[in-house]
Amino acid sequence: MANQQLFASRRGAFVPAANTTNEAGGAAYQRDAVAALAVYAATGCLNGVFYADAQTQLAQVLRLCEAVPTEFVARTALYARQNAYMKDMPALLLAHLAQRDGALCEKIFDRVVDNGRMLRNFVQIVRSGVTGRKSLGTRPKRLVRQWLERASVDQILAAAVGQSPSLADVIRMVHPRPQDAEREALYAWLIDRPYKAEALPAKVQAYETFKQNHEGDVPDVPFLFLTNLPLTDAHWTAIARRASWQTARMNLNTFQRHGVFAKPDDVGHLAAKLRDPAHVARARAFPYQLFAAWNAITGDMPQPLRDALQDAMELATQNVPVLAGNVVVAVDVSGSMSSPVTGNRPGSTTKMRCVDVAALIAACVKRKNPSARVIPFNTQVVSVTLNPRDSITTQATTLANALGGGTTVSAPLARLNAEKAMVDTLIIVSDNQSWADTCKVAATATMKEWSTIKHRCPGAKLVCIDLQPYMTSQTVESADVLHVGGFSDAVFDVLGTVASNGLDMASWKQRIERISL
């Protein structure tokens, strides 16, 4: 008989060896260019994050764009805008295509540039020169001009909110051709040129009149056109009643300060809007934006509005699937998760941290799967008790309050193995920057622990949700290990695929590759 000590079966011996070091200095696996671009597209806001500054992210994305086929760049731009609800990243990818494959840029332009903010982002990025040119060029200029010519008055006015560049700057660059006297007057009004007042759109005429006398009905123009005017409480009430869902969500405290909620009817009207399913769907709201609004409201906010925000949260996360069997959600609460989820940007840094979003995802899964086990971790498993009957916001707040410490992504897996727990679906929500369990050679500790779980639970599936844009991971994607990035509710769609298709689940990259051009 062969020597048992030499030739004994060694569990995990064939787990892939780590091939790189992550930003925190730990052993990790390098993503291929396609997978890395997908992660950056869904999580990268081109702002500074815990382990990388904005310039590093930009350089990395541009290198990845050059390394993959243009068709994948185009599909990723569409995914980033339509599924991940990103703004700067899809505009950057589109600007890259404008330089590298103009025909493909034109093919997807209207699907990526779906509002005035995206139009200005695209122009700003192209003009910056980071994608290889500092002028718009013939084709991009034509595409921008066509967008302006097709846009409604409301779309034009919405686009006029914001600077660097302003819509006036864009108009001066591309010289759109007015189709009629009204559009000619509107363009002239926007760029501060002489115009025929009687030819302006009716709502712009009303706005100009209101600016002069501050009397009569509040004109139906974007909210920010009005905020610098001397408005009465009655004016603010009219603004609140007409506000879009996003404007209402973002300005509850402002409306409260200006007496909008003095009357129950006005409170009820806005509460009904906030919890209306059609409004929530049309706003394409991130679940974390509702969490942020709920956390930000003042203590004297009327209870119906507080309840409406929680109802809206339930609506925004209603596509969380029911997962069969034993479900575990591992939530990274380490110090690096204190980073703002959309990165640091002077003057506009979100208060929502990665840990808040991770906790929210876990709470959503727990709400739809009451028996799911939630395991917070830093360098070790952190003890937190959740009540499945609590609201999503309450559970998420409880988890986020555990923030602190180093990062050992393998810790929750090690706990499951120590308990010999049965697992059907394991979800890890993290920035993936594990370092406390690092090793100099062989596989990452996370992959070793996962191998042990698979030996005990052959049908187990692992879903790794990345919240930050980095080039590495702690696991290797395979038939039963799925990677997905982002913080929109698109991650719940991926979990739904896992729930319905089991081991035959389509990879995240394949989902992007199937997007029609």
pLDDT in tens, 388-428: 778 778 888 888 899 899 999 999 999 999 999 999 999 99
pLDDT band per the 50, 70, 90 thresholds, residue 330 = very high
pLDDT band per the 50, 70, 90 thresholds, residue 441 = low
Cβ-contact 211, 196 below 8 angstroms: no
> Is the confidence at residue 63, as pLDDT, over 60?
yes
> Is the confidence at residue 269, as pLDDT, over 50?
yes
Helix 70-82 to helix 88-100 angle, to the nearest 10 degrees? Answer: 160
Give me the mean pLDDT over the 81-97 stretch: 91
| In the chain, % of residues over pLDDT 90 | 51
Task: Report pLDDT for 393.
Answer: 80
Q: Report domain extents, the chain.
A: 14-27+322-513, 86-221
Name the E strands within 201-359.
327-332
199-231 confidence digits (pLDDT tens)? 999 999 999 999 988 888 899 999 889 988 899
pLDDT band per the 50, 70, 90 thresholds, residue 303 = very high
Quickly list DSSP for 360-389: HHHHHHHHHSTT-EEEEESSSB------TT
Task: Report pLDDT for 296.
Answer: 82
pLDDT band per the 50, 70, 90 thresholds, residue 8 = very low
Half-sphere CA count of 478, side-chain side, radius 13 A: 14
Distance in angstroms (rounded) separating the CA atoms of residues 251 and 270: 11
Give me the mean pLDDT over the 300-308 stretch: 92
Distance in angstroms (rounded) separating the CA atoms of residues 395 and 360: 8
- In this structure, the strands spanning 27-30 and 20-21 are antiparallel
Mean pLDDT computed over every residue of the chain: 87
Task: Report pLDDT for 182.
Answer: 96
Question: How far is C-alpha 125 from the chain's CA centre?
Answer: 20
pLDDT band per the 50, 70, 90 thresholds, residue 10 = very low
Quickly list DSSP for 80-120: HHHTS--SHHHHHHHHHHHHH-HHHHHHHHHHH--SHHHHH
- The topology (CATH level 3) of 14-27+322-513 is Rossmann fold (3.40.50)
Quickly list DSSP for 53-71: -HHHHHHHHHHHHHHS-HH
pLDDT band per the 50, 70, 90 thresholds, residue 4 = very low
pLDDT band per the 50, 70, 90 thresholds, residue 9 = very low
Give me the mean pLDDT over the 184-209 stretch: 95
Distance in angstroms (rounded) separating the CA atoms of residues 507 and 369: 23
> Is the confidence at residue 156, as pLDDT, over 50?
yes
> Is the confidence at residue 107, as pLDDT, over 70?
yes
DSSP, res 134: S
Give me the mean pLDDT over the 226-251 stretch: 90
| Of 43, 77, 1, 5, the residue nearest 467 (C-alpha) | 43
Cβ-contact 460, 454 below 8 angstroms: yes
Cβ-contact 386, 398 below 8 angstroms: yes
Cβ-contact 152, 139 below 8 angstroms: no
